[in-house]
A = this chain, B = another copy of it.
Amino acid sequence: MISNTPPAPYYAVIFTNIRTPGDQGYAEMAQKMDDLARQQPGYLGHESARDKLGITVSYWESREAITAWKNENQHRLAQKAGREKWYQHFKIRICKVESDYAF
């Protein structure tokens, strides 16, 4: 559940979003993208939670890995559908994780 990421530095993509009403194929595509992300080079893990707001944070070895995932063909189709029907609003933040600690 909490990603077991390697020692910093590494990268994070914080994806904060507000869904449109209804499923409209969202759950199936979300599962597909979850499976596909895990297969990408440089993928380190991801964490998700949703109540009124959805937050998904994915972790990556490098910015190059993030860019490659953004440009992956099936993922591009999912992003297009996201803008067209699944999300009212979203914000994506690309971050360098400089330090971390756990309990």
Contacts and interface: CB of A to CB of B under 8 A. Distances in A.
Interface in A45-70: 47-55, 57, 63
Interface in A79-103: 83, 87, 89-103
A41 to B, nearest CB: 20
12 contacts: A1-B52, A2-B16, A2-B91, A5-B93, A12-B14, A49-B49, A49-B54, A90-B103, A91-B100, A94-B98, A95-B95, A96-B96
A29 interface: no
A92 B98 contact: no
Majority-rule SS of A interface residues: strand
Q: What interface size band does chain A fall in?
A: 35 or more
Contacts of A3: 16, 91
